[in-house]
Structure 1
Amino acid sequence: MSSRQTVEKIGFILLGTIVLSFGFYNFYFLNHITEGGVLGFLLLLKNLFGVHPSMASIIIDFSLLLLGYRIFGKEFFLYSLFASFAFSITYGMFENIGPILPAINNSLINAILGGLFVGVGCGIIVNTGCSSGGDDALALVIAKKTSLSITKVYILMDGIILLLSLTYLSADAIFYSMIASTLSGKIIDLFLSHTKGSLRLITA
């Protein structure tokens, strides 16, 4: 990979994490909408124990990405780790700035907008051939150790996180969270369908 390609790849990863963090904070966290996977788990830790996502994401993602290192190699690991650090920094930035947009008192609109931003942000990142977090590495390990397909593993992981989120969210909030999670997943799939180097295509 040339220096120019490396710079472009880093630039797209940064762009993706900014879009992801913006949607994650302004539409998910501020409106009590959650996600599946690591993103949803970060919100769970934040709301139950006050653990800041900007710090927890580094620890959790690093641990899970170590699993992906053995399967996808050094380049995948390093760029994915960079994406995790970038998310931590950009989320902390938006958290310090506070709400940017006027409050939208409509859960459906917040879920749709949140799903769009998170989906596009993650999609930009996976389009570079790395991961926006440790979800993919964990899903691969589970699929390898069981008879479950990758798709079923993702559904299972998201379902568990959303069920646990009932400890601090209402059933209505979980419903809108499912809408947001489904929409973001569909958008990411659009990116993945055009990305030969993406993790999900490799493991499909």
Structure 2
Amino acid sequence: MLKNINPRSLILVLLGSMVLSFGLFNIHSFSGVTEGGGLGLTLLLDHWFHISPAVSGFVFNMACYAAGWRILGRVFIVYSILASVGFSLSYSWFESMGPLWPHIGETPLFAAILGALFVGVGCGLCVRAGGAPGGDDAMAMSLAKLLKVKIQWAYLASDLVVLLLSMSYIPLNRIGFSLLTVLLSGQLIGIVQEFKLPRWLRGTKGSAINS
């Protein structure tokens, strides 16, 4: 299995997880604009139970990866675990530094677009490498294969469920911005996955999610 691990893909996974954690901490956690799926769930737990996404995200991801081990494949799992560890460590580092834009919530439209940019690029780099920074990616693929549905419907379902739960602490008008950032980040993930990277960074093209 180790002979199938691409060093350039490892770089993309670590870079992507750092970009993602930067956006989640500095934008989403201070703007009132949340993400769907596992990312939104970590913010929900952070708000109501004061559980850091560095902890809840790691536990959630490990549970999803363990459940989907046989379906996703071993190389995908290796990249995904690395992405999860990289996300947790970098998020903790950003927490220790403090927020760069503590008042970004005053401009929710800007926060939604900027947040989608970081999430889309961060997740897109990880997906391009052949892994996933969040357990919801593993969960969505497993559900899609088990239920014989397209994977985008599995993603959309998880996003909508989390957004509905997030209405318990996010005003309705902010949920609209959250829906915007979810839709934009999803499109950006696809764009980054197909974007032509510098040769030294070209790892495994495509993703096990789409296989």
- TM-score normalized by the length of structure 1: 0.91
Contact 1:119 1:188 in 2 (8 A): yes
Tell me the equivalent position of 1:41.
41
Count of residue pairs the alignment pairs up = 201
Which residue is 2:179 aligned to? 178
Shift of 1:50: 0.8
1:115 matched to which residue of 2? 116
Superposition pairs for residues 6-45 of structure 1, below 5 Å?
A: 6-45=6-45
In the other structure, the counterpart of 2:55 is 55
Structure 2 counterpart of 1:201, one-letter code: N
CA distance 1:45–1:2, change in 2 (3 Å): closer
CA distance in 1 between counterparts of 2:82 and 2:57 reads: 12
Q: Which moved more, 1:19-28 or 1:67-76?
A: 67-76
What does residue 190 of structure 2 align with?
A: 189
Structure 1 stretches of at least 4 aligned residues deviating more than 3 Å after TM superposition? 101-104, 192-197
In the other structure, the counterpart of 2:200 is none
- The answer on 1:129 being equivalent to 2:130 is yes
**Cα deviation code 1:144-166 (max 9, x no counterpart):** 33353212111111000000000
CA distance in 1, matches of 2:101, 2:167: 27
Q: Distance in 2 between matches of 1:137 and 1:21?
A: 18
Q: Alpha-carbon deviation of 1:190?
A: 1.4
Contact 2:31 2:103 (C-alpha < 8 Å) held by counterparts: no
Give the unaligned 5+ runs of structure 2: 196-203
Structure 1 pair 102/29, CA: closer, same or farther in 2 (3 Å)? closer
Residue 57 of structure 1 aligns to a residue whose secondary structure is: helix
**1:192, 1:200 within 8 Å by CA — same for their partners in 2?**
no
Structure 1 equivalent of residue 91 of structure 2: 91
Shift of 1:102: 6.6
Deviates more, 1:87-96 or 1:144-153: 144-153
Distance 2:176 2:25 in 1: 19
Secondary structure class of the residue paired with 1:197: coil
CA distance in 1, matches of 2:35, 2:101: 21
Q: Deviations over 1:95-125 (max 9, x none)?
A: 1111124733211001100000111011111
Q: Normalized against structure 2, the TM-score is what?
A: 0.88
Q: Is the 8 A contact 1:32 1:169 kept in 2?
A: yes
Aligned-residue Cα RMSD (Å) equals 2.0
* Partner Cα separation in structure 2 for residue 118 and residue 125 of structure 1: 11
CA separation of 1:14 and 1:147: change in aligned 2, threshold 3 A: closer
Identity across matched positions, percent: 40
Structure 1: give runs of 5+ residues left out of the alignment: none
Amino acid at match of 1:159: L
Q: Measured at CA, do residues 150 and 106 of structure 1 come closer, stay the same or move farther in structure 2, by a change above 3 Å?
A: same
